[in-house]
Amino acid sequence: MEEGLGLKFWGTRGSMAAPFSSHMVYGGNTSSVSVQWPEGMAVFDGGTGILALGQHLEEAAARGQWDQTRKLHIFVSHVHLDHIMGLPLFPPLFWKAADMEFFGPGEGENSFRQRLGKVIGPPCWPISLEQVSAKIQWHDTRDGDVWNLPGEVKVRVMGSRHPDGTVIYRLDQKGSSVVYGLDCEPGEESGRMWEKYRRFAGNCGLLIFDAPYDEKEYCHFKGFGHGFWQQGLDMAVQCGAKKLCISHHDWKRTDEQLGEMEREAAKEAENRGVSLAFAREGMELTV
Ligand SMILES: [Zn+2]
Ligand SMILES: [Zn+2]
């Protein structure tokens, strides 16, 4: 594996999976991003896209190219359905040899595991988290946490502005870094949240920014907990991100519409000296 972090988008859609023929270029699966380095792998969110990652690992294990005992670190931003919908059938959960650590926000009296268990288990789902084969360690994540992973990796946590207790993550490894900023509404540029986000994402290698909207649409969705791509550009410029990826695409948006939006954004990004891409399912990057 080459130097740096190997990143792959397994799902890019926001709010709901949308596997329509008009959506296949940018993808219909909801959010999941894997980040790999020589000593480990982290996965951000378990949207429906995580199923393809699980299948990929299962096939790699059958070929002897993936060790099933290798620890998987799953970081969940929050328990809205689009970020956990792939977890109930994530193949490694059913490997006897699997060793996993789950990280996610609790809220009030409820731990992250308890919150997840309300959806993954009867009556919403036939198999509960107690019944899976993998060995799992559970952790609650809070604003300001720093988690150390093998291979000199640090994962930092920031409380997000989004309904129902949400966090965003930043992973750093030997000078490479990625900010996974789904789901988050940074709000006004003069506001405290904006400033906090700007510091959190400072000089990152890749900023994955939550933007299902553009600026014109945003006024209808203010307070919903999401941003727009023009904000992503502002944030990337202000925090000094080397690359910007827009994700959490609106589930209604077709490839044609997203393509048009991406072209407009890319033009604007070029004028401002930012390297920008709209995330596509299957897209791989080295950060
Ligand atoms: Zn979402
Ligand atoms: Zn959400």
**Cα–ligand 2 centroid distance for 183 (angstroms):** 5
Environment of ion ligand 1 (residues, CB < 5 A):
14, 82, 183
**Cα–ligand 1 centroid distance for 82 (angstroms):** 5
With contact defined as beta carbons under 8 Å apart, do 248 and 211 qualify? yes
pLDDT score recorded for residue 94? 96
CA distance 16 to 246: 17
CA distance 236 to 245: 10
CA distance 99 to 206: 28
Q: Which of 251, 258, 73 is nearest to 153 (CA)?
A: 73
**Within a domain: residue 274?**
yes
pLDDT score recorded for residue 230? 97
**Cα–ligand 2 centroid distance for 249 (angstroms):** 12
**Within a domain: residue 228?**
yes
Phi and psi angles of residue 244, each rounded to the nearest 5 degrees, phi first: -125, 130
**Cα–ligand 2 centroid distance for 67 (angstroms):** 33
**Cα–ligand 2 centroid distance for 224 (angstroms):** 9
Residue 281 CA to its chain's centroid (Å)? 12
**Cα–ligand 1 centroid distance for 37 (angstroms):** 26
Dihedral of the alpha carbons of 13, 216, 259, 166, in degrees to the nearest 10: -20
CA distance 269 to 246: 12
**Number of domains observed in the structure of the chain:** 1
Q: Which of 70, 81, 20, 18 is nearest to 45 (CA)?
A: 81
**Within a domain: residue 215?**
yes
**Cα–ligand 1 centroid distance for 268 (angstroms):** 26
CA distance 248 to 227: 10
**Cα–ligand 2 centroid distance for 103 (angstroms):** 16
CA distance 281 to 86: 15
**Within a domain: residue 1?**
no
Q: Which of 61, 24, 26, 81 is nearest to 279 (CA)?
A: 26
**Within a domain: residue 39?**
yes
**Residue 3 burial (C-beta neighbours within 10 Å; 0-12, 13-18, 19+):** exposed
Can you give the residue range of the structural domain that contains 25?
A: 6-286
pLDDT score recorded for residue 205? 98
Q: Give SS3 for 1.
A: coil
CA distance 215 to 230: 6
pLDDT score recorded for residue 3? 75
**Cα–ligand 2 centroid distance for 80 (angstroms):** 5
**Cα–ligand 1 centroid distance for 80 (angstroms):** 6
With contact defined as beta carbons under 8 Å apart, do 19 and 257 qualify? no
**Cα–ligand 1 centroid distance for 29 (angstroms):** 12
pLDDT score recorded for residue 173? 96
* CA distances in angstroms from 65 to 9, 14, 56, 68, 165, listed in the order given: 20, 32, 11, 10, 37
- The domain spanning residue 115 has which CATH number? 3.60.15.10
**Cα–ligand 1 centroid distance for 1 (angstroms):** 31
Q: Can you give the pLDDT of all 287 residues of the chain as single tens digits?
A: 457 899 999 999 999 999 999 999 999 999 999 999 999 999 999 999 999 999 999 999 999 999 999 999 999 999 999 999 999 999 999 999 999 999 999 999 999 999 999 999 999 999 999 999 999 999 999 999 999 999 999 999 999 999 999 999 999 999 999 999 999 999 999 999 999 999 999 999 999 999 999 999 999 999 999 999 999 999 999 999 999 999 999 999 999 999 999 999 999 999 999 999 999 999 999 99
**Cα–ligand 1 centroid distance for 67 (angstroms):** 31
